[in-house]
Amino acid sequence: MATHVRICTHTVLERIHPSLALRSIHDERGRIITRFAELVEKHADELAVLESLDAGKHPAVTKAVDVGNAAGSLRYFAGAADKIHGETLKMQGPFQAYTLREPLGVAGLIIPWNFPTTMFAIKVAPALAAGCTMVVKPAEQTPLSALYLADLAKQAGIPDGVINVVPGFGPTAGAALASHMNVDMVSFTGSTEVGRLIMEASARSNLKPVYLELGGKSPLIIFGDADLDMAVELAISANFFNKGEACVAATRVYVQDSIYDRFEEKLAERMKSWVVGDPLTDARVNQGPQVDKTQYERVLSYIDQGKREGATLLTGGRPCGQKGCYIEPAVFTNVKEDMVIAKEEIFGPVMCLMKFKTVEEAIAKANDTRYGLGAGVVTRDLDVANRVVRSVRAGVVWLNCYFAMDSDCPFGGRKMSGFGKDEGMQALDKYLAVKAVVTPLRGSPWM
């Protein structure tokens, strides 16, 4: 494998002045990534259909959100390709020093099945901007979009060998990538259990750096002064967007006791109009099928577990339709913090509804989890908002909104939700090595 991107410049520039040729390398890299973004936008319909066929995603939502995010990320990092700078250092004694930020080498990128197009782009884009080559391992459930995107990358002018897509299963293809001696780093999005395996493989091979975006059990805290209708809609979208197959889904919904009963009533009424079905054949559909039978059965087993533990099923929770992996969204009330459904990541349309009284209690409950990926706060009180935002241990906190993401906004977790950032300029750091260069000053004993 090549160790970094090499994009040829026009030899005429080299004849005129070497610095012009050097500048054009970074400029051309940015232009090619921009062309890649344009092709992603041009073929949004095809990508949306592939995502729907592979993962049961709603094609209209996928086109607007997933494909839009992918193109946005490529454009964002295209602009960063010629803005990677080092620093000048002040040293003691007769020396001067500076740093270079160089491509780390070969990046192993392992992407999940819930947002395949988005995750492909937000990992590939900064790696390209940094000048790395990469091996992308898509999830075995959803390989089609990655293969299609690789073809678009070739059409954009990205040289052969820079982006390599290797479909396969985690225990074989993923494990080989994590343990390969010629892979210089791994960026993985998926479960905490697999994240541990990747870290172990890195330690046993070449000690490659590993960056992990893992599971979540995110809280949504709704205070008594919230707009009730808005809060209900926010809780629904924060839980059931993408069929609940989202690591940052706010599956623990805490509602202040002063509005809890009214919130529960409005939520139950609103869920009556929620439509589950085939998003390719019915434009009214809010929620498609779970990604596969394994995940479908996993979600149903958690719903059964919740009922056995004594939680009350307010709405849904049943298989839907005569065939396919469809589940009515489940809303549980009377949930206790020590119940399995309140502690473990389900990765499906299951909401746990719980009460709290004080700000202190809300913060304590929100932090009572091994995860730390996201959190949401709904309140009109700025003092309460500031206090909770600063107290909740999570990688991203949304105030009076949820799932708002952007290429400039770093995304990643804390605790067992992993470490390292996707998106934002911080994402570039994963793909760059810092080299210090030290030279003696003229007139020193070494000159």
pLDDT tens-digit readout, 95-124: 999 999 999 999 999 999 999 999 999 999
CATH of the domain at 424: 3.40.605.10
Local structure of 377: helix, strand or coil: strand
Local structure of 59: helix, strand or coil: helix
Q: What is the pLDDT of residue 18?
A: 55
Question: Does 66 lie in the same domain as 189?
Answer: yes
The maximal CA–CA distance of the chain, rounded, in angstroms, is: 85
HSE, CB side, 13 Å, CA atoms: give it for residue 89: 18
Q: Catalytic residues, which ones?
A: 213, 247
| Residue 244 neighbours by CB under 8 Å, 6+ apart | 251, 299, 329, 346, 347, 348, 349, 350
Q: Please name which of 137, 129, 20, 11 lies closest in space to residue 80, comparing C-alpha atoms.
A: 129
Residue 406 lies in a domain: no
Question: Does 375 lie in the same domain as 244?
Answer: yes
Question: Does 226 lie in the same domain as 191?
Answer: no
Question: Does 157 lie in the same domain as 260?
Answer: no
Number of domains composing the chain? 2
Mean pLDDT value across residues 204-213: 97
- Looking at the predicted structure, is the pLDDT value of residue 9 above 80? no
> Residue 19: pLDDT band by 50, 70, 90 thresholds?
low
Question: Does 280 lie in the same domain as 177?
Answer: no
Q: What is the pLDDT of residue 25?
A: 75
Residues 424-438 have pLDDT tens digits of: 999 999 999 999 999
Residue 303 lies in a domain: yes
Residue 404 lies in a domain: no
Q: Residue 315: beta bridge partners?
A: 331
Residue 441 lies in a domain: no
Token pair 């304590």 is found at: 364
Q: What is the pLDDT of residue 443?
A: 74
> Residue 363: pLDDT band by 50, 70, 90 thresholds?
very high
Question: Does 373 lie in the same domain as 352?
Answer: yes
- Round the average pLDDT of the chain to a whole number and report it: 93
Question: Does 224 lie in the same domain as 210?
Answer: no
Q: What is the pLDDT of residue 26?
A: 75
Range of the domain at 115: 11-214+417-436
| Choice among 9-18, 23-32, 84-93 with the minimum mean pLDDT | 9-18
Q: What is the pLDDT of residue 10?
A: 40
- Looking at the predicted structure, is the pLDDT value of residue 51 above 80? yes
Residue 444 lies in a domain: no
Question: Does 424 lie in the same domain as 394?
Answer: no
Residue 47 lies in a domain: yes
For residues 241-272, one letter each, b for 16 or more C-beta atoms within 10 angstroms of the residue's C-beta and e for the rest, the string is bbbbbbbbbbbbbbbbeebbeebbebbeeebe
Mean pLDDT value across residues 271-297: 94
Mean pLDDT value across residues 232-259: 97
Residues 118-155 have pLDDT tens digits of: 999 999 999 999 999 999 999 999 999 999 999 999 99
- Looking at the predicted structure, is the pLDDT value of residue 273 above 60? yes
Question: Does 227 lie in the same domain as 103?
Answer: no
Q: How many percent of the chain have pLDDT more than 70? A: 94
Mean pLDDT value across residues 177-193: 97
- Looking at the predicted structure, is the pLDDT value of residue 68 above 80? yes
Q: Please name which of 284, 295, 319 lies closest in space to residue 245, comparing C-alpha atoms.
A: 295
Q: What is the pLDDT of residue 6?
A: 39
- Looking at the predicted structure, is the pLDDT value of residue 8 above 80? no
Mean pLDDT value across residues 153-181: 97
Q: What is the pLDDT of residue 225?
A: 97
- Looking at the predicted structure, is the pLDDT value of residue 21 above 90? no
Question: Does 224 lie in the same domain as 206?
Answer: no
- Looking at the predicted structure, is the pLDDT value of residue 408 above 70? yes
Q: What is the pLDDT of residue 17?
A: 55
Question: Does 262 lie in the same domain as 189?
Answer: no
Q: What is the pLDDT of residue 381?
A: 97
Q: What is the pLDDT of residue 446?
A: 67
The model's pTM: 0.91
Question: Does 167 lie in the same domain as 225?
Answer: no
**Residue 99, amino acid:** T
Residue 409 lies in a domain: no
Q: What is the pLDDT of residue 447?
A: 65
Residue 346 lies in a domain: yes
CATH of the domain at 375: 3.40.309.10
